Amino acid sequence: MTRFEAENHLSSSQNVGLFLVRRSESLLDSYVLSVLTEESVMHFVISRNGNSKFCIKGGPSFITIQELVEHYKNNALLCGIKLKRPSEKKKPVLRHLSYNTVGKWERPKEEFTLVKRIGTGHYGEVWKAIWNNSVPVAIKMLKADDTDSSNFLKEAQIMKCFQHRNLITLYAVCTRTQPLFIVIELMKHGDLLNYLRKSNGSFTIVQLIDMAVQIAAGMSYLESNCYVHLDLAARNILVGDNILCKISDFGLTKLLKGASATEISDGNFPVRWTAPEVAIKNQVSMKSDVWSFGVVLYEIITFGKIPYAGISNKMVLVELAKGYRMQCPKECPQPIYNIMKDCWNETPSQRPLFSTLKLQLEDFITNNYSPLY
């Protein structure tokens, strides 16, 4: 766990004295004690002295970290606070329906009980369901009158390759009888767009930027594996407990391995989110999604406002070609707007990598909302 993740994890609680111990990101063979105080999260390096004992600078040394922790439950740290209880570990991401289904993607439909329809997608309906009366899931169901199932199944094939905390998990498929099912994890709060709009502006800037960090992390994983999503938008981000964000809807996703840019024929893209070179020339590169991420960042900061409001799709492309870019939203910090503009660079190669965007967003929170300890 990084310092950034530790601060977010502890700050979600109101329990002063809540703590965790994590490995240091920068110091070899060292740990960090992170503890929630009344004002912030503070971090103390746990290092080894000459006798290979664990200690915090200026304090006594111990044979084990457990002994160190027990000491500071009874004796105050330098900040004057005592440790109270350890934070619960994050729940691991459920990668499979059960141990017995690992690698067995095709499942009988009889194992799934449909509960209620929770939405509609590009290919059909989305249902909440239960697998074997035990695991809640979501099912994407192909329209009954849709005879072209190739794209629907292609999405499932692509998802089999993905394994990342911020990408939606594929559990199973049901392809032996109509209608076809793609079974994915169920996300409690639905899509990010509606989640933002229903929040009535209640999220803090730190929470909003953390959503963007998570999306950048998931996109960085795709980027490192040479996949372009081509439909990145707040409506295609799903939200679970503790504002966990996961990228979904991979129906347009392409593998660009071995090619820096390529032309594609099936150019049916959402204009307001799509990079101009894609929407106009059908020319896709690894930087195409970065433009879309800038628009998603705009959606997050504005709590779900429509990009380019009041401008038709056709005119959006005309104005972008003239150099027009959306203005800085009200209440948007200038460094965040600068990141948006970097994403909207006319030249794809000049747009930042997702790995860079993730670090920039994390640094924004650390430098502006976290004390230096």
| Nearest residue to 285 (alpha-carbon basis) of 312, 308, 259, 252 | 259
The gap from C-alpha 332 to its chain's centroid, in whole angstroms, comes to 20
Spot the catalytic one: 191, 210, 231, 289. Answer: 231
At residue 156, what is the residue type?
A
Q: Which residue has the tokens 């994590």?
A: 22
φ and ψ of 170, to 5 deg: -85, 130
3-state DSSP assignment of residue 173:
strand
- Annotated active-site residue 266? The verdict is no
| Nearest residue to 226 (alpha-carbon basis) of 248, 253, 257, 247 | 257
Taking the C-alpha atoms of residue 184 and residue 214, their distance in angstroms, rounded to an integer, is 19
Distances in whole angstroms, Cα of residue 121 to Cα of each of 141, 188, 198, 364: 9, 17, 20, 35
Please state, as a whole number, how many other Cβ atoms lie within 10 Å of the Cβ of residue 246.
23
Query: Which residues contact residue 244 at a Cβ distance below 8 angstroms, ignoring those fewer than 6 apart?
Result: 165, 166, 187, 214
Taking the C-alpha atoms of residue 56 and residue 41, their distance in angstroms, rounded to an integer, is 16
Distances in whole angstroms, Cα of residue 218 to Cα of each of 159, 169, 231: 13, 12, 14
Under 8 Å between Cβ of 210 and 365? yes
Provide the annotated active-site residues.
Answer: 231
